[in-house]
Amino acid sequence: MTFATPLIAGIVAAIAVPSLIILYFLKLRRAPLEVSTTLLWKKAIQDIQANAPFQRLRRNILLLLQLLILALLVFALAQPRTERENAGGQRIVIMLDRSASMASTDGDPARDGWSRLDEAKKRAIELVETLKEPGVLERCQADEAMVVAFDAAAEIIQPFTSDKRVLADAIRSVQPTDAPTSIGEAYRLAQAQRPTRQFTDNAGGTQPGQTMEIDGLKGGPSYTFHLFSDGRIPDAEVFQADAEQAGEPPSFEYHMVGDPGAHNLGITALRAERAFDDPNTLSVFVGVQGTEPTSRSVDVELLVNGTLTSVREVTVPAAEPAEPGMAARPGSGGVVFELTEPRGVTVTARLAGIANTPGNALRADDEGVLIVPPAKRSAVALVTTGSLFLSEALRGLPLSRFEIIAPDEYESRRVSGALAQFDVIVLDRYLPQANSAGAVLDPGRYLVFGAVVPPPQGVTDLGEGPAGQIIDWRRTHPVLRDLTLDGVVLGKTRPVEIPDDSGVVSLAESAEGPAIVEVSDGSVRALVATFDPAQSNWPFQVSFVVYLGSAVEYLSGSVTDEGAGSRQIQPGGVLSDRLPDDATDVRVELPGGRSQELVPGLDGRVVFGPVRDEGIYRLRWSGTPGATDTVEDGRVSREFASNLLDPAESDIAAAEKLGLADRVVQARQATSGGLLELWPFFVLGGLGIMLLEWWVYNRRVSL
Amino acid sequence: MLKSSNPTRPTTIDELLDPRLVAKISQLDLSSRKIFAGKLKGERRSKKRGESVEFADHRPYSVGDDLRHIDWNIFGRLDRLFMKMFLEEEDLSLHIVIDASASGDCGEPHKFFYMQRVAMALSYIGLVNLNRVAVTALGTRDPAVAPLGEQGIAGAIRDLRGRRRVQDVGRFLCSLSPEGSTDFGRAAKRIAMMRRGKGIMIVLSDFFMKEGYETGLRLLAGRGYDLFALQVLSPQEVEPEIAGDLRLIDIEDQDHAEVTISAPLLKKYKQNLSAYCEDLRTFCARREITALTVRTDTPIETLILDYMRKRGVLR
């Protein structure tokens, strides 16, 4: 039995019980009665009291009964309650899957258009209704719940509260997205709410008895997770990883929504590529996946800038039936469209004529959009006193314009502002003169070889170093991910030190320290190789040409950090891009037609997201356009496409079991529970004793 | 125990002395374990060997004895001198002490009225048998009302003898009303000093005296009086019929006791009452005082014809 409001009851008891006893001492308005003598009575009273002040109380059944009534009422005020399942206020995390597959309309076979998310929300609200209520006067001991909605990312819709109305409102506010599913972030988000576990050093260490905390090891009672999902979760094993840390595995309940037998047909791959040799040739690959047990043909339509240009039939083979221990493997097919298109275009692929057919419960994957940039070439200037390797290598790149400039001429052009026509300026063993603020690089994009850009923009030069090798490089960087620097031997290294709190990132390191650094200082972006390539074997390696090509592409803006050229975002991801420095009044237009203002960062970067829905996102701003941007009505426009394109998400059959790596949680269909409030019984008991007291009183009076 | 809301206040002797009771008690006479000397010889045998006609015993002659009482017949037969001894007859005093304090103004039947009737009946018996009768009322009074009121004596009549005096006793008793408190010790001292001769003294009271009855009884018990203590209690004092939370007020001194009536308290009260009466009886037995406790719902006939005869007060 627990009490909702023990404190209030304690206070009332502390006031009422002594008051009752004092009143009992004071209450008697005794009826005067003349008797022949009080002699014997006084003796009798003395005998019976026997000098004990509480003797009178002990003998007084009426007071005892009244105290009993009071005790019962005080107990009732404490709102005692028992519950069938757990004692104490438990903490529940309601995890709502709002990923694309939850938009499938098989939530309830009896209700047309009732999506899995609608069903999940309904069941979650039912669960909330069974939570223990908080007390009337105190908020304690009630069950608390947190609502987390997740797709690829997670969001706390409602932090822990016991207010059922707030929780239900929060659950109702969850909207479906077109993003794939990942539960890991949601789980970590919920676990982050728990306090860090505290350890007490009892092992006779240096400071016995001292408590310490270890990041990541969580203490406090573990939460009960209620997952409302169709079970299409590829990363459910995060629970086990945490179970090893938290000591006890979190209690987990899986509420399955959706039909395990549901089928779907969807586009799971969409890719556009320009031929390397002929940028005007564009190939568009469309991958289609089906989960039906029979093979099926479907028409794929290709639209370029909204105009239907081509239709091809795709045959999707039958899905392989499920084997013991294995889920059914969906069948997949694909088609390639070839077209000649030098412009930047929007390519849309869609499955025709299946919108409302059975076997296609999910609509989000019936269409995909690609933004294909125009066949673009960059303008590059090489500032050098003469470098065979660089000039020849750059000349071999597909550039729109290439010019070799002497340092003197560079300075004069710099003054006249004639350098803005170049996308990238390559500085070979040369640094421009520093301006009054000490900055050597004007706003722009630079590729620097054999020179050290000093602070405040760059790094501290430590002088010439010994010979060395490149021993490590950042393989995830867009410029470096396609090449290897393994065999590069440097005749002379040029050790540098990266100042703290600078925007400089080391991309490649020799034994002496950073060898290639990226400088991004607001309007300036530069890739700086501190060593002189002419005094190394790098120019003789393929990686040198690849580096030059990647760097020019990267710096000229045709490549973003996120991926090559395609401007694709998966729902759940973040739209992130860098705008020209003079971009103002930046807005992002969402697929639904709404728009939202964005404030660019110092280096022109804008971030929007996570992106929820499929479709085209348009960044619009006033200012200079980039090389691939279009201009409409005086405002620059840059487009991004958001597509689901996730085979796991398109396979929508609800999972009846959820593998948690160490255990399997069966889907739970119904919820039970509820609380038994005990206070009415105490009040009734009090009334009963009051009747008994009345009877005793009457009996006493009629002695 | 409770103060009577409508007490009986007798105004005539007929209310005190029922003619039917008179018929029953007319043959009775006072009796004593001792035979007492009195002033009027011939009416009553005395324990003293004396000059009555009734032979009692012989004893050897000694020099100086009255020659008139020598038994010459025995001298003739035995040639020795023996004295003839005769029972002496003498009269008897009856002294009735009635408690006229406020505590008598209680009970149903009324305690003081009961005591008045008992006193009247006993006085009647005493008077018709030509005994000397005195009645003294106890109770503090204003000296303006009673000369000895401050000493605890509310009034007294003395030296009554003969049937004609019955009216005097009745008037005196009717003039009394239960008031004030008692000062039994001082009053007893006064009574003991005032009384003359020897005889029977009957004390009618409830003996609920805060100052204690011991001193008074001890003073009264001396000087050759055969003392008889009649404790009169109302039925309500023996079996209280009260309940609830009460403030009990002593009718004599306004002292009060706050009680919550409960079964244990009542039980304790009854234990205390019986112990009190037992103490009184034990005290009296040690001093050759005859003690008798009577409830006011006991008929007077039963008291006089049965209880008092059995205890040798009457015959």
**pLDDT tens digits along A647-657:** 777 777 777 76
Element (H, E) at B89: strand B82-89
Average pLDDT over residues A669-682: 61
Element (H, E) at A41: helix A39-49
What are the DSSP calls for B54-93, one per residue?
EEEEEEE--TT--GGGB-HHHHHHHSS-EEEEEEEE---E
Report whether pLDDT(A241) > 70: no
Which among A43, A56, A701 is the nearest to B244, CB-wise? A701
Q: A33 touching B, CB under 8 A? A: yes
Q: Quick count: other Cβ atoms within 10 Å of Cβ A179?
A: 27
Average pLDDT over residues A598-617: 80
The better pLDDT of the pair A126, A577 is held by A126
Note whether A66 and A691 are within 8 A (CB): no
pLDDT of residue B276: 93
Q: Do B248 and A31 touch (CB under 8 A)?
A: no
Between CA B59 and CA B46 the distance in angstroms is 18
Q: Quick count: other Cβ atoms within 10 Å of Cβ A410?
A: 18
Average pLDDT over residues A463-482: 84
pLDDT of residue B259: 83
pLDDT of residue B230: 93
All residues of chain B having their beta carbon less than 8 Å from the beta carbon of residue A701 are 243-244
HEC letters along A533-569: HHHECHHHCHHHHHHHHHHHHHHCCCCCCCCCCCCEE
Least-confidence region, from A3-12, A122-131, A487-496: A3-12
Domains in chain A (CATH in brackets) are 2-83+678-701 (no CATH), 91-198+213-261+653-673 (3.40.50.410), 265-320+328-369+646-650 (2.60.40.10), 379-555 (3.40.50.880), 568-642 (2.60.40)
Average pLDDT over residues A589-615: 81
pLDDT of residue A458: 83
Fill in the amino acid letter for B89. Answer: E
Report whether pLDDT(A448) > 70: yes
Which among A41, A701, A703 is the nearest to B259, CB-wise? A41
Q: A215 touching B, CB under 8 A? A: no
Q: A47 touching B, CB under 8 A? A: yes
Note whether A688 and A695 are within 8 A (CB): no
pLDDT of residue B233: 93
Residue A410 pLDDT grade (very low, low, confident, very high; cuts 50, 70, 90): confident
pLDDT of residue B58: 82
pLDDT > 70 fraction of chain A, expressed in percent and rounded: 81
Domains in chain B (CATH in brackets) are 13-35+92-310 (3.40.50.410), 45-89 (no CATH)
Report whether pLDDT(A700) > 70: no
pLDDT of residue A625: 76
Average pLDDT over residues A360-375: 79
Which of B297, B308, B310, B291 shows the shortest CA–CA distance to B122? B308
- DSSP-derived 3-state class of residue A358: coil
Distant-in-sequence, close-in-space partners of B148: CB < 8 Å, separation ≥ 6:
B156, B190
pLDDT of residue B54: 63
Report whether pLDDT(A620) > 80: yes
The better pLDDT of the pair A197, A605 is held by A605
pLDDT digits (tens, 9 = 90+) for A145-178: 889 898 888 888 888 887 888 889 999 999 888 8
Average pLDDT over residues A87-116: 79
Q: B214 touching A, CB under 8 A? A: no
Between CA B5 and CA A516 the distance in angstroms is 123
Which among B1, B104, B245 is the nearest to A35, CB-wise? B1
Note whether B82 and B268 are within 8 A (CB): no
Distance from CA of A32 to the nearest CA of B (A): 4
Give the strand pairing for B225-233 and B132-138: unpaired
pLDDT of residue A672: 39
Least-confidence region, from B6-10, B113-117, B137-141, B298-302: B6-10
Average pLDDT over residues A666-691: 69
Residue B115 pLDDT grade (very low, low, confident, very high; cuts 50, 70, 90): very high
Q: A26 touching B, CB under 8 A? A: no
Q: A31 touching B, CB under 8 A? A: yes
All residues of chain A having their beta carbon less than 8 Å from the beta carbon of residue B265 are 44-45, 48
pLDDT of residue B97: 93
**Tokens in use for A641?**
């496409």
pLDDT digits (tens, 9 = 90+) for B24-42: 888 887 776 665 444 455 5
All residues of chain A having their beta carbon less than 8 Å from the beta carbon of residue B232 are none
Least-confidence region, from A208-212, A544-548, B163-167: A208-212
pLDDT > 90 fraction of chain A, expressed in percent and rounded: 1
Closest residue in B to A49 (Cα) is B265
Distance from CA of A43 to the nearest CA of B (A): 7
pLDDT of residue B39: 43
Report whether pLDDT(B224) > 60: yes
Note whether B152 and B138 are within 8 A (CB): yes
pLDDT of residue B147: 81
Pairs of residues, one from chain A and one from chain B, whose beta carbons lie less than 8 Å apart: 107
Least-confidence region, from A467-471, A544-548, B220-224: B220-224
What dihedral do alpha carbons A300, A306, A310, A312 form, nearest 10°?
0
Q: Do B250 and A38 touch (CB under 8 A)?
A: yes
Closest residue in A to B247 (Cα) is A32
pLDDT of residue B282: 93
Cα A461 to Cα A456, A499, A690, B270: the distances in Å are: 12, 11, 93, 116
Q: Do A59 and B1 touch (CB under 8 A)?
A: no
Between CA B293 and CA B279 the distance in angstroms is 12
- DSSP-derived 3-state class of residue A296: strand
Q: Do B208 and A39 touch (CB under 8 A)?
A: yes
Q: Do B103 and A47 touch (CB under 8 A)?
A: no
pLDDT of residue A558: 46
Residue A467 pLDDT grade (very low, low, confident, very high; cuts 50, 70, 90): confident
pLDDT digits (tens, 9 = 90+) for A510-537: 888 888 998 887 678 889 998 888 888 8
pLDDT digits (tens, 9 = 90+) for B87-110: 555 667 889 999 999 888 888 889
Report whether pLDDT(B84) > 50: yes
What are the DSSP calls for B121-164, one per residue?
HHHHHHHHTT-EEEEEEE----TTT-TTGGGTEEEEEEEE-SGG
pLDDT > 90 fraction of chain B, expressed in percent and rounded: 24
Least-confidence region, from A79-88, A285-294, A314-323: A79-88
All residues of chain B having their beta carbon less than 8 Å from the beta carbon of residue A59 are 262, 264
pLDDT of residue A138: 45
pLDDT digits (tens, 9 = 90+) for B303-312: 888 888 888 7
Average pLDDT over residues A485-502: 86
Residue A424 β-bridge partners: A380
Residue A246 pLDDT grade (very low, low, confident, very high; cuts 50, 70, 90): low
Q: Do A40 and B273 touch (CB under 8 A)?
A: yes
Average pLDDT over residues B66-70: 84
Which of A169, A195, A191, A192 shows the shortest CA–CA distance to A252? A191
All residues of chain A having their beta carbon less than 8 Å from the beta carbon of residue B256 are 32, 38
Closest residue in A to B110 (Cα) is A36
Write down the mean pLDDT value for chain B: 84
State ipTM.
Answer: 0.79
Residue A139 pLDDT grade (very low, low, confident, very high; cuts 50, 70, 90): very low
Global pTM reads 0.47
Fill in the amino acid letter for A420. Answer: A
- DSSP-derived 3-state class of residue A690: helix
Average pLDDT over residues A617-634: 79
All residues of chain B having their beta carbon less than 8 Å from the beta carbon of residue A49 are none
Q: Quick count: other Cβ atoms within 10 Å of Cβ A538?
A: 22
What is the radius of gyration, based on Cα positions, of chain B? 23
